[in-house]
Homo-oligomer: A and B are copies of this chain.
Amino acid sequence: MNQSHSLLELAQQARGAAAHLAGLDGAGRRRAVEEVAQALEAAAPDIVAANRADLAAAEREGISKALYARLILDQDKLQAEIAGVRNVGRLPDPVGRVEIHRELDTGLVLKKVTCPVGVLGIIFESRPDAAIQISTLAIMSGNGAILKGGRESEQSCRAIIHAVQAGLAAAGVSPAAVQLLTTREEIAELLRLDAYVDLIIPRGSNSFVRYVQENTRIPVLGHADGLCHLYVDQAADVDRAVRLAVDSKAQYPAACNAIETLLVHREIAAGFLPAAAAALRAAGVVLRVDGTARQILRTAPGLGGDADMEDATDADWSAEYLDLVLGVKVVASLEEAIAHINRYGSRHTDSIATEDPAAAAEFLSRVDSAGVYHNASTRFADGFRYGFGAEVGISTQKMPPRGPVGLDGLVTYKYFLSGSGQVVADYSGPNARPFTHRDL
């Protein structure tokens, strides 16, 4: 009871502080972001020390190498993150953008203007850098934020949010606008606070995102893992397609924009697969191949037979390995490739390798994913690479915001109507006054 009482109070405070933040103009929010950067600089020794404590504890618990690597926030990484904070402060202001400015009639003027959403509830993995990025994006977009990071990063996050709050205070903004939760129990509490929290952004596994979606009335910005594909068309350039396959899979296999399945047109399979298999094998990738691919690869010279190759089952087409494992399937047509992606994919990012513009156009038009690529690695699906400056994550839902979500995805809009006493009765019935509907 005490616990939930205090979380409720914390959310109410965040809401009040967020309303104040939302009332600042762009210059005021930019100043707050700069104060946060300075506060992070001032607190750098504390943050790095807190991170070392998290790392020591993680080591004692024997967490995986990949998790450990993400947990590190040393002096160099922190400086890079602080530079990132200042970059966000230089991005175009997402708030106050006039999207419609229309005279409905003389003296009756409608404006549709972007505005902050309110309070964001963000649950993220054990990456202390995420706490910095998310807080900064929230402040720049005029939103309050209630953050819950992974347990392993707790001390780092405390030190970071302490500095963020000091920066807010220095800018004259209530530090309550950004809050940190530290216990797992508080997540369930947070999901019930639909009167105070406007948007939940869960980052993490598919099952966690689904848990959140099924346990809250608050709108959820779905940040799922990705089941991405590269389709090598019959008209692909083989060298180019091999490079794309290696980069899309192996450049950072734990990322949600890495591919999990390679689809290959049967007309190019004999020419492409041996070269691709050799290059992927050199990058440490284990292949899970269908029958046709196995037949081609078994007899290919220089591949050493069946080593590093496993038989794919149907379950592989739905598998998100997030590791150096890749499903390989030979398809009979572009049509089959598109149908496979729309059936098994997660609507994240899918790419076609082809030199045939018509095949590319067909693929881009009919694949139902947030990102559809032609001759480019799926790993480009990222807010920084798209030029958004930063991202809170990648959304695989169909309704906006879709794909990498940066500042523009953290605002909504309001309709402002200004008149001089106009009433609808005058615009109704047989002698209705007409609207002018003139864009200004």
Chain B's closest residue to A373 (CB) is B417
Which segment, of A60-68, A284-292, A323-331, A376-384, faces chain B?
A: A376-384
Interface string of A349-388 (1 = CB under 8 A from B): 0000100000010001110111111111101110001110
Chain B's closest residue to A402 (CB) is B412
- Are B424 and A380 in contact, CB atoms less than 8 angstroms apart? yes
Q: Does A397 contact B (CB under 8 A)?
A: yes
- Tell me whether chain A's interface is mostly helix, strand or loop, or mixed: mixed
Q: Given B118, B377, B385, B414, which contacts A371 in the complex, CB threshold below 8 Å?
A: B414
Q: Which residues of B contact A219 (CB under 8 A)?
A: 397-399
Given contacts A251-B428, A419-B376, A425-B251, contact A412 B399 (CB under 8 A): yes
Q: Which of A225-257 contact B (CB under 8 A)?
A: 237, 240, 243-244, 246-248, 251-252
- Are A104 and B380 in contact, CB atoms less than 8 angstroms apart? yes
Q: Does A416 contact B (CB under 8 A)?
A: yes
Q: Does A437 contact B (CB under 8 A)?
A: yes
Given contacts A368-B118, A402-B413, A425-B247, contact A419 B385 (CB under 8 A): no
Given contacts A385-B427, A412-B399, contact A380 B237 (CB under 8 A): no
State how many residues of chain A have any CB contact under 8 Å with chain B: 71
Q: Which residues of B contact A375 (CB under 8 A)?
A: 418-422
Q: Does A86 contact B (CB under 8 A)?
A: no
- Are A118 and B416 in contact, CB atoms less than 8 angstroms apart? no
Q: Does A403 contact B (CB under 8 A)?
A: yes
- Are A19 and B398 in contact, CB atoms less than 8 angstroms apart? no
Query: Closest CB of chain B to A122's CB: distance in Å?
Result: 15
Q: Does A435 contact B (CB under 8 A)?
A: yes
Q: Does A23 contact B (CB under 8 A)?
A: yes
A118 to B240, CA, bound (A): 33
Query: Closest CB of chain B to A130's CB: distance in Å?
Result: 19
A108 to B376, CA, bound (A): 8
Interface string of A88-110 (1 = CB under 8 A from B): 00000000000010101000101
Given contacts A219-B398, A374-B417, contact A251 B424 (CB under 8 A): yes
Residue picked from A214, A248, A413, A414, most chain B C-beta under 10 Å: A414
A415 to B23, CA, bound (A): 32
A246 to B366, CA, bound (A): 52
Q: Which residues of B contact A110 (CB under 8 A)?
A: 386-387
Query: Closest CB of chain B to A16's CB: distance in Å?
Result: 11
Query: Closest CB of chain B to A381's CB: distance in Å?
Result: 8
Query: Closest CB of chain B to A27's CB: distance in Å?
Result: 16
